[in-house]
């Protein structure tokens, strides 16, 4: 449950801190006083859309933060503890924007959301930066807000399907169904793509064969062939220069009368004779002999290189022609010779696929059939679960309707097959409503009044309370369209729900407010040119006065005050 709520710079609120607890908390106030601000603030903490319009005039940012106490066996608490988002120690304490902990073994989740005029809002979840999506997936599952708008969504067939699935705990089956349907759609699209127009396939086959024949005729195999041919072309073009350079090198190094090799040999012999007199010359002699050997090796290699150089115009023509062909194919098929070779391999694969079209189509049709069988199997499992759960949900809702002064009303739930299987399965769910005995049940949206919808929604929330992880229910004037004894019945029902969940109810009915464990009053004040909303906790006579105001207006009569005291006394029984 929410133990502490802080609101700053939000709408008409400057600074507000509310200490909340278990049980039923009601929020009352004059029409237009700003009671919905609390709902809007909690909506932000649930990951709702933010806008700079919520920032109070004169402030740069709006901030909403809360401490949410999680039961020891909560699945959300377990997941957050694994992610180090909460302190899961026995004392339940942790540091953060709001410090808490009560030593009862419950973990505490700290949540903060800031909306800035600059547009750079921030989200903190468990003391760490997070996203609005993180809030929606975590806090959205802990705090449930029901408003008059929800009365309309209750009549939407898709929402009715989701409600039944929530009651049946079908979350994993729905996820499997969505995955199976996506696979089915992909398999069907692949068959349609592969089974394209036969003439298009024939035209593509002709083009591939023509392009591949060019590459095959060129006998491409070595991606370095082009660079090797370019080097050979340079040698052929400059054969005379190469031969002259090689001949001069051989002459200077070895073959000439004054060749370097002979001069080095002469110096070596002279120093070798003196090395017998001075041993320190021996290393020089050895190095000179090595140098002579290397010079002679270079000279021999140059000679062999020169023998391979010849002026061959015919060969030069062949090389030029080959380079032109390789360049054209490279440009046509990717830019390099390696690209052209790789393109040829892909074309061979594509031709093989086209050649084995029937086999490929059969394979894809088999995959489609398997996807259809899988989707159908999961859809049937979902249908069985829904049909089995429909009776239980119907029974619980009908029982709750009896407690809400609709004892004769029934809410039959129909599960009908659709023509096709979709991402949510193959069922259509309809909530019907029969408010009076002997009348046929008709679609809820067509027959239920506003007051009846309020009570149906409340009954639905009670029916789902045992099957979800919600720790806090927020009811925003769901009592619209009711009054008198029915309003008192709703108040008792909210009180009963608050025994298992924290309940926050915004109401304008005194018959509901008297059942509160905590009573908050919203007041709008104008001081100077500035409007401010404040929220006060009422106790004793203050609470009695507020109930009297709700009964008779801004200036309660003595009779209204006495009536308020009597209502408060009877609510405690």
pLDDT in tens, 41-77: 888 888 888 888 888 888 889 999 999 888 776 667 7
Which of 91-100, 330-339, 536-545, 554-563 has the lowest average pLDDT?
Answer: 91-100
Check if the beta carbon of residue 363 is closer than 8 Å to that of residue 161. no
Check if the beta carbon of residue 93 is closer than 8 Å to that of residue 108. yes
pLDDT at 93: 39
Across the chain, mean pLDDT equals 83
- Name the burial class of residue 537, with classes exposed (0-12), middle (13-18) and buried (19+) by CB atoms within 10 angstroms of its CB: middle
Top CATH class, 1-146+470-538: alpha beta
Q: Are strands 24-29 and 530-538 parallel, antiparallel or unpaired?
A: unpaired
pLDDT-derived band at 468, boundaries 50, 70, 90:
low
Beta bridge partners of residue 146, listed in sequence order: 475
Domain ranges of the chain: 1-146+470-538, 224-335
Q: Which helix (H) or strand (E) element contains residue 241?
A: helix 239-250
Most confident of 98-112, 466-480, 550-564: 550-564
384: left (phi over 0), alpha (psi -120 to 50) or beta: alpha
Check if the beta carbon of residue 135 is closer than 8 Å to that of residue 125. yes
Phi and psi, residue 222, nearest 5°:
-110, 115
Mean pLDDT of all residues in 299-317: 79
Check if the beta carbon of residue 39 is closer than 8 Å to that of residue 476. yes
Which of 91-95, 364-368, 519-523 has the lowest average pLDDT?
Answer: 91-95
pLDDT at 219: 87
pLDDT-derived band at 467, boundaries 50, 70, 90:
low
pLDDT at 258: 82
CA atoms of 488 and 128, how far apart (whole Å) = 44
Check if the beta carbon of residue 19 is closer than 8 Å to that of residue 27. no
pLDDT at 148: 63
Mean pLDDT of all residues in 540-566: 88
CA atoms of 227 and 330, how far apart (whole Å) = 13
CA atoms of 571 and 482, how far apart (whole Å) = 18
pLDDT at 215: 87
CA atoms of 498 and 473, how far apart (whole Å) = 9
- Name the burial class of residue 22, with classes exposed (0-12), middle (13-18) and buried (19+) by CB atoms within 10 angstroms of its CB: middle
Check if the beta carbon of residue 389 is closer than 8 Å to that of residue 164. yes
Check if the beta carbon of residue 502 is closer than 8 Å to that of residue 473. yes
Mean pLDDT of all residues in 382-409: 88
pLDDT of 97 higher than 70 = no
Mean pLDDT of all residues in 348-352: 84
Mean pLDDT of all residues in 499-517: 90
């Amino acid at each position: 449950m929410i133990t502490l709520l802080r609101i700053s710079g939000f709408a008409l609120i400057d600074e507000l801190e509310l200490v909340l607890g278990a049980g039923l908390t009601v929020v009352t106030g004059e029409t237009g006083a700003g009671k919905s601000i609390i709902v809007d603030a909690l909506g932000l903490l649930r990951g709702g859309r933010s806008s700079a319009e919520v920032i109070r005039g004169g402030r740069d940012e709006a901030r909403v933060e809360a401490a949410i106490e999680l039961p020891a066996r909560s699945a959300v608490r377990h997941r957050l503890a694994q992610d180090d988002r909460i302190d899961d120690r026995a004392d339940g304490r942790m540091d953060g924007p709001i410090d808490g902990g009560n030593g009862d073994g419950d973990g505490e989740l700290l949540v903060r959301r800031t909306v800035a005029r600059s547009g750079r809002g921030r989200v903190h979840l468990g003391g760490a930066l997070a996203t609005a999506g993180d809030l929606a997936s975590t806090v959205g599952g802990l705090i449930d807000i029901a408003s008059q708008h929800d009365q309309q969504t209750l009549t939407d067939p898709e929402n009715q399907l989701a409600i039944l699935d929530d009651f049946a705990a079908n979350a994993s089956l729905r996820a499997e169904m969505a995955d199976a349907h996506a696979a089915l759609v992909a398999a069907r699209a692949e068959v349609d793509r592969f089974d394209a127009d036969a003439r298009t396939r024939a035209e593509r086959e002709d083009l591939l064969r023509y392009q591949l024949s060019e590459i095959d005729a060129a006998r491409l195999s070595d991606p370095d062939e082009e660079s090797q041919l370019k080097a050979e072309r340079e040698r052929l073009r400059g054969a005379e220069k190469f031969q002259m350079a090689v001949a001069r090198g051989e002459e200077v190094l070895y073959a000439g009368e004054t060749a370097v090799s002979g001069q080095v040999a002469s110096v070596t012999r002279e120093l070798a004779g003196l090395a017998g007199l001075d041993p320190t010359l021996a290393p020089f002699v050895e190095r000179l002999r090595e140098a002579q050997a290397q010079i002679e090796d270079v000279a021999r290699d140059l000679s062999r290189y020169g023998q391979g150089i010849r002026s061959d115009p015919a060969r030069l023509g062949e090389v030029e022609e080959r380079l032109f062909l390789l360049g054209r194919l490279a440009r046509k098929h990717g830019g390099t010779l390696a690209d052209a070779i790789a393109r040829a391999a892909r074309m061979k694969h594509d031709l093989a696929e086209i050649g084995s079209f029937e086999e490929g189509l059969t394979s894809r049709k088999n995959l489609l059939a398997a996807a259809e069988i899988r989707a159908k199997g999961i859809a049937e499992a979902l249908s069985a679960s829904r049909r089995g759960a429909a009776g239980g949900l119907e029974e619980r809702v009908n029982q709750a309707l009896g407690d809400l002064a609709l004892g004769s009303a029934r809410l039959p739930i129909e599960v009908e097959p659709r023509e096709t299987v979709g991402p949510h399965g193959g069922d259509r769910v309809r909530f019907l409503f029969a408010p009076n005995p002997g009348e046929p049940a008709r679609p809820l949206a067509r027959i239920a009044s506003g007051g009846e919808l309020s009570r149906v929604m409340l009954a639905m929330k009670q029916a789902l309370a045992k099957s979800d992880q919600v720790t806090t229910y927020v009811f925003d004037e769901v009592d619209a369209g009711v009054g008198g004894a029915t309003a008192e019945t709703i108040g008792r029902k909210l009180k009963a729900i608050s025994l298992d969940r924290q309940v926050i109810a915004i109401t304008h009915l005194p018959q509901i407010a008297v059942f509160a464990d905590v009573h908050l009053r919203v007041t709008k004040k104008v001081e100077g040119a500035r409007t401010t909303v404040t929220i006060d906790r009422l106790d004793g006579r203050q609470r009695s006065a507020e109930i009297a105001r709700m009964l008779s207006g801004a200036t309660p009569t003595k009779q209204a005050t006495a009536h308020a005291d009597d209502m408060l006394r009877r609510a405690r029984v």
